[in-house]
A and B are shown apart, each in its own frame.
Chain A
Amino acid sequence: MEIPFASLGKPGDSVDVCVIGTGAAGLPIAARLAERGHRVVLCEGGDIEFSERSQSLYRGTVVGGAYVPLDTARLRYLGGSTNHWGGVCRPLDPYDFAAKPATAETRWPIEHSELVPYYGEAAQILDVLPIGPDSELPGSGLRRIHFSIGESVHTRTRYASTIRDSPRLAFCSAANLMGLETRDGRITSARFTNYEGGVRDVHARFYVLACGGIENSRLLLWSNRQSGGRLIRNADTLGRYWMDHPHASIGQALLFDPAPLGLDRAYDAFFAPTPHAMIARNILNCGLRLHTMGPEQNLALTEDLTSLSPSLKQRIQTMQASGVAPKGIILRAAWEQEPRRENRIELDDTRLDSLGMPRCRLSWGYSSLDVRTLRESVLMLGDYLRQTDIGRLKLADWLTQEPILPPDTGELVGRHHMGGTRMAASASQGIVDLDCRVFDQDNLYIGGSSVFPGCGHANPTLTIVQLAMRMADHLDARLLRQTIV
């Protein structure tokens, strides 16, 4: 049920869990816990619908490489950034949880198998169809992979009836988190303000911060500062190891025989390096995306290639004489970014938002490993095409130059905000433990992709929901244990 701000944290209210954020992590966690009989307060900083007064709080600055404006890369109202995602889903690969030879920083402290039990539930929540198994392209170092590309489920719609009807879930909009009080290693209250300057404190047994891959870091940095460093005693990694998935157009290809790639008439097909190839080439994961090309572009690409190669011209003419035209494809990539300390979220004390909190400053850029991962991956595909003689690949202009400088216009990134409060085996290596609990606080949990230590190349939403369901199970068990005691 929806409650007004004035009713938030009323004296005598007994709340089991306070969930902050209504996106892909927060709303599924809150709904699941309410379903299981726990009393939940769900707070959203934004309004029910898009509002400028809320969205403007997402403005920030970016230092380093070309990036998208921070207030357009995410949404701040009921449902969060699920209000504009594209519905593209794929779980992380098992190998994404490992310490890759290229950098051990990709290692998760949990195994892939920890998330497998939650795949079904997460897929159901997001209306994701099962994807087929990967299949290796023999001799290429690549495997054909699959995504589920469907309707983009908005959590506000998925959980509309829960928000409206659940007697155990109290939802409050325009409730902006301003700080977390801590005493003896436990959060004692969360302070919220609305846009009119009202202040309410919520007391709960557990708190879940699920405000997105940028705000989780920003809010913890701010709350930790206010607490004099008692919230997170070892904050060395807080805000750091931040990642996105770089996206770029990487070229085009002309296929004489699309069948070996498993392509039919119209398609979106995806390939990625095998774990063996990632090890052999010392690179990270990379999703190569092949798209159908229009007839005019196809013709231009064919003329381009035949102008350079008399032998291929003759071959293509022979094909065309028998009524078969080579098939042009557009190549894009979305790939894994190296987790690096230098890529980080900080508080910008020179710029305050309308609530008086320092805005976000993002330091972000590519590493040589980021560039090498892409280059090697596209070369694997290009070499496979010419060695098997099923086609030829043309690199994008920016990939033919030395040094390779990724484009500073175009797609740039997937707007997949990951890292900053990374999951780790110890407080010296990250912010949350294997259960996504903040190391220094017994009852504070972090939901969302900010806990990713490494990010693979797959869109993160499915993994976010898998982790959310896992956290809901964990909190449910803790609440039941406390009740029994």
Chain B
Amino acid sequence: MRHTLTRRALLRLIGLAGLGTLLTGTLAMRLPEGHSTRDTSKRDSNDERLVVSGWLLNTQDR
């Protein structure tokens, strides 16, 4: 009985994990400094997205 309950509890935990109760922590940064992309889908063609260490920044942020 004890074995069964433990397994059921584990299975429930696994099920809940799929719904998002397990979250990851802080993530590392790897993208090269100063890497930038122009988002052509934006209405404002002057808008430039600067990607720095994973952060999506405005050019004036730097």
Contacts and interface: CB of A to CB of B under 8 A. Distances in A.
B18 A410 contact: no
A131 interface: no
Interface in A393-438: 393-397, 399-401, 410-411, 413-416
A334 B23 CA distance: 13
B45 interface: no
A228 B46 CA distance: 64
Interface in B22-57: 22-31, 39, 41-42, 44, 47, 49, 51-57
A394 B47 CA distance: 18
A396 B15 contact: no
A396 B19 CA distance: 19
A86 B30 CA distance: 35
Contact of B56 (A85, A291, A300, A383): A383
Given A50-B7, A386-B49, A387-B47, A249 B24 contact: yes
A413 to B, nearest CB: 7
Contact of A410 (B4, B24, B51, B58): B24
A483 interface: no
Contact of A379 (B11, B27, B39, B52): B39
Interface residues of B, number: 40
Interface stretch (A166-174, A201-209, A305-313): A305-313
Contacts of B24: 249, 410
A478 interface: no
B2 interface: no
A393 B23 contact: no
Contact of A392 (B44, B56, B60): B56
Given A280-B41, A281-B41, A383-B39, A393 B55 contact: yes
Contacts of B56: 379, 382-383, 385-386, 392-395
Interface in A98-128: none
A190 interface: no
Interface string A295-311: 00100110011001101
B38 to A, nearest CB: 12
A18 B5 CA distance: 31
Interface in A34-76: 49-50, 68, 72-73, 75
Nearest to B12: A84
B4 to A, nearest CB: 6
A458 to B, nearest CB: 12
B23 A86 contact: no
Contacts of A75: 11, 15
Contact of B31 (A289, A400, A415): A400
A86 B54 contact: no
A289 B41 CA distance: 23
A273 B11 CA distance: 33
Contact of A50 (B4, B41, B44): B4
B18 to A, nearest CB: 4
Contacts of A88: 19
A143 interface: no
Nearest to B10: A72
Contacts of B61: 308-309, 311-312, 386, 392
B12 to A, nearest CB: 5
A397 B54 CA distance: 7
A235 interface: no
A86 B16 CA distance: 6
A305 B42 contact: no
B23 A291 contact: yes
A255 B57 CA distance: 13
Given A84-B16, A251-B54, A393-B56, A301 B8 contact: no
B55 A394 contact: yes
Given A281-B41, A386-B49, A400-B31, A309 B57 contact: yes
Interface pairs A-B: 7 shortest CB-CB: A84-B15, A86-B19, A382-B56, A400-B31, A415-B18, A249-B24, A309-B61
Interface of B: 4, 7-8, 11-12, 14-31, 39, 41-42, 44, 47, 49, 51-58, 60-62
30 contacts: A50-B7, A68-B14, A68-B18, A72-B11, A72-B14, A81-B15, A83-B8, A83-B11, A84-B11, A85-B15, A86-B15, A88-B19, A247-B18, A251-B27, A251-B54, A252-B27, A280-B41, A301-B26, A308-B61, A311-B60, A311-B62, A379-B39, A383-B56, A392-B57, A393-B55, A396-B54, A397-B28, A397-B54, A401-B31, A411-B18
